[in-house]
């Protein structure tokens, strides 16, 4: 549980902004936006983009490479898989849980999907299998977390091992290549000669689904309630076990969607792929201002967090910074962003 | 000798302790009695350094002392054993006793054998034997208490405070506890003994002091004051709250909306009672009476070993609070912050959270319009003072927060509403409004249960009262029989 005093504090801070006389509705809105926890990451995203554009594009002659439509759509393609995982992860973290299994579930669903296609199943049938397996994995974790109140970190760690192991068992440890034509989900969809990556479209669709569930359906409110004050939620007549089950199922489903895209990208099922993706997903959620203790956060923040990680990755590549240094930078960025978030909350 | 002189302690909005002077001699057992909330625990926390007195001083053997925290108080020889023990459940007895001041070998390693030996001899000096090597979680409550006491004596404690030590003990264990206290007494330890159980006080105490509403009412030798006189001193306060006039008992229907035929949980006897249509049923009792536990078992939050409930004459199964709510039984928790509020939500969200079934619009989405209408209606009806219901609930005063939670349950349209301490920690004005609301709800034909530790409150609003003690219902009072002294008599163990 998070510290209730802390909650009060933050709520006061954000609330007091609203109490000012509303003579300037625009200024009011601005204040509300600035007070949001994901604002730090949003600012970082803008600054990073400007900085990189300056160094990569404007300080050299010739055509720019960073601030081009091509590169920017490419970034969204690159972040699609982890962002989709982050959608599910947002659900889980909002209830105060965590799902470490999603990377392994991506690999498992991808392997099974490729196996099904090799075995002669139609493409969409194989996708269906992947989704069912993802949902089953989520339901498995959800069952143990909800029914027996086991710590989510342990249950999903176990799920991670099992999913990884099952993928390896099924494939014998080898990649299962499928025909190149099945890679169309990873390619572009052309609108008026303007190429839009299909993974980007799927990612946006998943964010939209997540947004609608969390903000427009009762179950969304219950998810926040469970993470905010579980005892109050129980006594308010919320079936908290069902809610917990649901968020892990969503996470499993999102992992399967990510697995389908992953399969299309590499036109094979690779049992050793997607290692550590769960950590990128968690990083995106946390950068997006969602409280790791649950109960507070927003899915739009997750999108910002995921884009920040994507742009950072892309920018560091263009600045020709070594992959080793990149990881150090990524770690520092996560730490600073969260630190600023906490310090702002304390004020 | 330990003396507290003119101790005053204020909290925002209330004077918790007002000019209290008490003293404790070496070798004396000094009982401290009073209703829940009279200020006994607050006073002990001042003694213990948890709170600092706003006025007044503490003297030990004539010298002023200023304990600023528990540790300093311990160094001054003052130890307190609270209702909730401060033991680490997974450590064994001697690890707990020496926690934070472990004995070390010359190499700086923890010297377990020396610790075990010393702890053993301290317990022996108390004439207590208990398994030293088991995690304390596996000990009985009484044994855990002895571990606490041993911990205090090893601190060279000369003044010991026991806060409700017997609340969860069996009669045999209480005897053993008294034996230990007498032994300490003979060694010159002075002891403040806080208890609700008056017959125990007559057995163990030399002196008794009564606190009421933060005032010091009486101090004298225990032999100078009968149990009845003591009760009068404890409850004899003027009723200052405005209660709505009660209805004539004949006006209330005899028809039960909720009939609990049999209810039993681990720490209770078989309970049975009715909640009638249109009545306010008060549930009174002291700390350890298990009133809250009984109703949590009833609504399916806690496990009941036996449960037979009729709702409107039909048997019903209540497996969870959600099921209870579906069938029209709502429970408002006693601890607003811990189990009532969603502090990160707005007032509106706090009200509607249990009522989404009424707010469905297109495609099962939450209809904004219905949501704001429902919330606006109850903000108005409960007279919640706020500019907008989009405000964070944490910005409201305690009284208005409580009204918002009541609104949440009113909106569910339950037929039975159980209010656990509905006015704890809120101001007089809001209290009066809540009493009026309870009366209105009863008039509408709901069955209202009010669990309250505030005696004048239950007396002032209830049509009928159940008095509980140690998980059993000791008395049922109604009409003219309802008065504070009778309730206190049964609650404290009278037959």
A100 and A13 in a common domain:
no
Rg (CA), chain B: 25
Q: Which of A44-48, A173-177, B97-101 has the lowest mean pLDDT?
A: B97-101
Please say if the pLDDT value at position A16 is more than 80: no
In sequence order, what are the beta bridge partners of B4? B22, B58
Looking at the structure, do residues A83 and A66 belong to the same domain, yes or no?
yes
Residues of chain A with Cβ-Cβ distance to B359 below 8 Å are: 218
User: A28: domain range?
Assistant: 1-35
A132 — pLDDT class (breaks 50, 70, 90) = very high
Q: Where are the alpha helices (DSSP H) in B205-329?
A: 227-235, 291-298, 321-326
Task: Residue A217: list chain B partners with CB under 8 A.
Answer: 364-366
C-alpha to C-alpha distance for B211 and B234, rounded to whole angstroms: 7
Closest CA in chain A for residue B388: A19
Q: What is the pLDDT of residue A20?
A: 41
**Helix A198-216 vs helix A240-266: angle between axes, to the nearest 10 degrees?**
170
Give the mutation candidate from A10, A17, A232, A243 for the B interface (greatest B CB count, under 10 A).
A232
- The predicted pLDDT at position B239 comes to 47
Strands B207-212 and B190-194: unpaired
Over residues A210-240, the pLDDT tens digits come to 999 999 999 999 999 999 999 999 999 999 9
Give the rounded percent of residues in chain B with a pLDDT score beyond 90. 47
- Compute and round to an integer the Cα radius of gyration of chain A: 21
Give chain A's domain count.
Answer: 2
Residues A117 and A194 in one domain: yes
pLDDT at residue B152 greater than cutoff 90: no
Does the beta-carbon distance from A238 to B338 stay under 8 Å? no
At A29 the pLDDT is 82
Q: Name which of B405, B341, B400, B351 is nearest B376 in CA terms.
A: B351
The answer to whether residue A11 scores a pLDDT higher than 70 is no
User: Residue A7 is nearest to which of B343, B359, B366, comparing CB atoms?
Assistant: B343
Report how far apart, in Å, the C-alpha atoms of B17 and of each of A287, A292, B14, B36 are.
48, 41, 9, 14
Chain B residues in contact with A15 (beta carbon < 8 A): 391-392, 394-395
pLDDT computed for residue A21 by the predictor: 47
- Give the pLDDT confidence score for residue A204 in this predicted structure: 96
Task: Give the pLDDT confidence of A235-289 residue by residue, as tens digits.
Answer: 999 999 999 999 999 999 999 999 999 999 999 999 999 999 999 999 999 999 9
Looking at A7-11, A217-221, B98-102, which range is the least confident one? Answer: A7-11
Euclidean distance between CA atoms B372 and B355, whole angstroms:
12
> Average pLDDT of B77-83?
85
pLDDT at A8 over 90: no
Distance (Å, rounded) from C-alpha A135 to C-alpha A323? 34
- Residues of chain B with Cβ-Cβ distance to A212 below 8 Å are 365
Same structural domain, A2 and A145: no
**For B142, which DSSP code?**
H
For residue A3, the model assigns a pLDDT of 41
User: Which pLDDT score, from 0 to 100, does residue A189 have?
Assistant: 85
Task: Spell out the residues 6+ positions from residue B198 whose beta carbon is closer than 8 angstroms to its own.
Answer: B33, B227, B230, B231, B492, B493
Return the residue in A236, A289, A297 with the most chain B beta carbons within 10 A, the one to mutate for interface testing: A236
A117 contacts A126 by C-beta, under 8 angstroms: yes
pLDDT digits (tens, 9 = 90+) for A297-308: 999 999 999 999
pLDDT at A66: 86
Is residue B292 predicted with pLDDT exceeding 60? yes
Interatomic CA distance for residues B24 and B205, integer angstroms: 12
Whether A42 and A22 map to the same domain: the answer is no
- Give residue-wise pLDDT tens across range B323-349: 999 999 999 998 888 899 999 899 999
Do A216 and A299 lie in one domain? The reply is yes
Higher-scoring residue by pLDDT: A19, A149: A149
- What percentage of chain A has pLDDT greater than the value 90? 69
Strand order in B63-65's β-sheet? B63-65, B55-60, B2-11, B14-24, B215-221, B207-212, B29-33, B190-194, B159-163, B78-81
Nearest CA in chain A to B332: A235
Cβ atoms B244, B427 nearer than 8 A = no
Handedness of CA B122, B124, B127, B128 (dihedral sign): positive
Q: Can you give the pLDDT at residue B237? A: 53
Q: Are B384 and B403 in contact (CB under 8 A)?
A: yes
Question: Among A72-81, A210-219, B157-166, B274-283, which stretch is predicted with the lowest mean pLDDT?
Answer: B157-166
- What per-residue confidence (pLDDT) applies to A68? 87
The mean pLDDT value for B279-301 works out to 91
Of the candidates B451, B439, B480, the residue with the CA atom closest to the CA atom of residue B249? B480
The dihedral of CA B212, B217, B219, B222: what is its sign? Answer: negative
* pLDDT for position B240: 52
Q: Would the pLDDT of B419 be above 60?
A: yes
The pLDDT, as a whole number, for residue A23 is: 59
Q: For B283-289, what is the mean pLDDT? A: 85
Pair (A96, A12) in one structural domain: no
More confident call, B412 vs B86: B412
Whether A192 and A309 map to the same domain: the answer is yes
Residues A8 and A141 in one domain: no
- The mean predicted confidence, pLDDT, of chain B is 88
Determine which of A30-39, A78-87, A223-232, B126-135 has the lowest per-residue pLDDT on average. A30-39
Q: How sure is the predictor about B242, in pLDDT bands with cuts at 50, 70 and 90?
A: low
- pLDDT higher than threshold 90 for residue B361: no
- Where residue B57 falls among pLDDT bands split at 50, 70, 90? very high
Which residues of chain A make contact with B401, given a CB cutoff of 8 A?
none
Within 8 A of B324 by CB-CB distance, chain A residues are 237
Lowest-confidence segment of A31-45, B241-255, B476-490 by average pLDDT? B241-255
Query: Per residue in B174-224, pLDDT tens?
Result: 888 899 899 999 989 999 999 877 878 899 999 999 998 888 999 999 999
Domains along chain B with CATH numbers: 2-235 (3.40.50.300), 249-491 (3.40.50.300)
Which pLDDT band, with edges at 50, 70 and 90, does B241 fall under? Answer: low
Residues A96 and A147 both lie in one domain: yes
> Does the pLDDT value for residue A83 go beyond 80?
yes
Specify whether A297 is located in the same domain as A189. yes
- Cβ neighbours, 10 Å, residue A216: 18
Interface pTM, i.e. ipTM: 0.81
Distance (Å, rounded) from C-alpha B357 to C-alpha A100? 34
Distance separating alpha carbons of residues B397 and B406, to the nearest angstrom: 14
DSSP for residue B482: -
Which residue of A221, A224, A238 is in closest CB contact with B322? A238
| A43-73 per-position pLDDT tens digit | 989 999 998 888 888 877 777 788 888 898 8
Range in A188-197, A251-260, B88-97 with the lowest mean pLDDT: A188-197
Between CA B335 and CA B457 the distance in angstroms is 18
User: Taking CA atoms, what residue in B is nearest to A17?
Assistant: B391
Tell me the CATH number at A321.
1.10.3470
Q: Is B471 on the interface with A (CB under 8 A)?
A: no
Q: What is the mean pLDDT of the segment spanning B281-301?
A: 91
Out of A12, A232, A238, whose CB is closest to B394? Answer: A12
Alpha carbon A49 to chain centroid, angstroms: 21
Same domain, A12 and A144: no
Identify the H or E element spanning A223: helix A218-228
Helices (H) and strands (E) in chain B, counts: 17, 20
Over range B462-472, report the average pLDDT. Answer: 92
């Amino acid at each position: 549980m998070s510290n209730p005093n802390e909650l009060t504090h933050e709520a006061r801070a954000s609330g007091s902004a609203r109490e000012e006389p509303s003579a300037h509705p625009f200024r009011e809105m601005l204040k509300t936006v600035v007070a949001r926890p994901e604002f730090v990451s949003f600012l970082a995203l803008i600054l990073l983009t400007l900085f990189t554009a300056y160094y990569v594009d404007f300080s050299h002659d010739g055509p720019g490479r960073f601030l081009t439509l091509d590169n920017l759509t490419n970034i969204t393609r690159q972040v699609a898989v982890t962002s989709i995982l982050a959608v599910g992860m947002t659900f889980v973290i909002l209830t105060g849980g965590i799902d470490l299994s999603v990377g392994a579930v991506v690999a498992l669903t991808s392997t099974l999907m490729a196996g099904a296609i090799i075995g002669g199943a139609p493409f969409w049938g194989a996708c269906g299998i992947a989704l069912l397996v993802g949902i089953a994995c989520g339901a498995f974790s959800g069952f143990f977390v909800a029914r027996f109140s086991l710590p989510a970190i342990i249950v999903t760690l176990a799920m991670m091992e099992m999913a990884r192991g099952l993928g390896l068992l099924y494939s014998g440890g080898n990649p299962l290549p499928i025909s190149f034509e099945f890679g169309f989900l990873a390619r572009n969809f052309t609108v008026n000669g303007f190429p839009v990556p299909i993974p980007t479209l799927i990612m946006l669709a998943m964010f939209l689904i997540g947004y609608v569930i969390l903000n427009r359906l009762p179950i969304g409110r219950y998810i926040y309630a469970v993470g905010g004050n579980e005892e109050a939620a129980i006594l308010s007549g919320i079936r908290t076990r069902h809610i917990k089950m649901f968020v892990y199922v969503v996470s499993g489903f999102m992992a399967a969607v990510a697995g389908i895209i992953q399969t299309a990208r590499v036109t094979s099922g690779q049992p050793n792929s997607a290692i550590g993706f769960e950590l990128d997903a968690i990083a995106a959620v946390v950068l997006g201002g969602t409280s790791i203790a649950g109960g507070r956060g927003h899915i739009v923040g997750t999108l910002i967090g995921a884009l920040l990680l994507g742009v950072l990755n892309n920018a560091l590549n263009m600045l020709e910074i070594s992959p080793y240094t990149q990881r150090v930078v990524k770690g520092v960025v996560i730490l600073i962003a969260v630190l600023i978030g906490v310090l702002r909350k304390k004020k | 000798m330990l003396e507290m002189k003119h101790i005053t302690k204020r909290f925002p909005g209330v004077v918790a302790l007002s000019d209290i002077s008490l003293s404790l001699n070496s070798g004396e057992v000094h009982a401290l009695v009073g209703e829940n909330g009279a200020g006994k625990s607050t006073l002990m926390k001042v003694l213990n350094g948890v709170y600092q007195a706003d006025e007044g001083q503490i003297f030990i053997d004539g010298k002023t002392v200023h304990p600023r925290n528990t540790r300093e108080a311990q160094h001054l020889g003052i130890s307190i054993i609270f209702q909730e023990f401060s033991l680490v459940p997974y450590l064994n007895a001697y690890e707990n006793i020496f926690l934070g001041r472990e004995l070390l070998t010359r190499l700086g390693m923890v010297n377990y054998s020396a610790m075990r030996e010393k702890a053993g001899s301290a317990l022996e000096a108390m004439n207590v034997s208990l398994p030293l090597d088991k995690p304390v979680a596996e000990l009985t409550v009484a044994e855990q208490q002895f571990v606490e006491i041993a911990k205090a004596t090893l601190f060279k404690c000369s003044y010991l405070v026991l806060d409700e030590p017997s609340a969860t003990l069996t009669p045999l264990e209480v005897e053993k506890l008294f034996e230990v206290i007498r032994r300490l007494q003979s060694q010159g330890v002075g002891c403040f003994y806080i208890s609700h159980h008056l017959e125990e006080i007559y057995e163990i105490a030399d002196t008794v002091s009564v606190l009421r509403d933060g005032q010091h009412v009486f101090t004298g030798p225990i032999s100078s004051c009968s149990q009845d006189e003591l009760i009068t001193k404890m409850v004899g306060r003027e009723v200052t709250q405005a209660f709505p006039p009660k209805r004539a008992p004949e006006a209330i229907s005899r028809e039960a909306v909720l009939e609990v035929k049999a209810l039993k949980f681990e720490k209770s006897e078989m309970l049975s009672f009715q909640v009638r249509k249109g009545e306010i049923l008060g549930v009174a009792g002291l700390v350890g009476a298990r009133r809250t536990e009984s109703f949590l078992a009833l609504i399916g939050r806690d496990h009941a070993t036996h449960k037979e409930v009729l709702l409107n004459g039909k048997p019903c199964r209540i497996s969870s609070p959600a099921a209870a709510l579906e069938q029209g039984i709502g429970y408002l928790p006693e601890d607003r912050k811990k189990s009532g509020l969603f502090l990160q939500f707005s007032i509106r969200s706090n009200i509607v959270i249990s009522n989404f079934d009424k707010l469905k619009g297109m495609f099962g989405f939450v209809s904004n319009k219905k949501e704001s209408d429902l919330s606006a209606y109850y903000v108005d009806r409960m007279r919640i003072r706020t500019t907008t219901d989009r405000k964070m609930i944490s910005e409201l005063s305690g009284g208005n927060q409580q009204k918002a939670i009541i609104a949440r349950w009113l909106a569910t349209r339950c037929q039975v509403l159980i209010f656990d301490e509905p006015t704890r920690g809120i101001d007089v004005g809001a209290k009066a409004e809540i009493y009026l609301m309870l009366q209105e709800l009863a008039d509408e034909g709901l069955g209202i249960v009010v669990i309250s530790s505030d005696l004048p409150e239950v007396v002032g609003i209830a049509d009928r009262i159940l008095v509980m003690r140690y998980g059993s219902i000791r008395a049922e009072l109604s009409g003219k029989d309802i008065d504070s002294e009778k309730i206190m008599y049964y609650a404290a163990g009278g037959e």
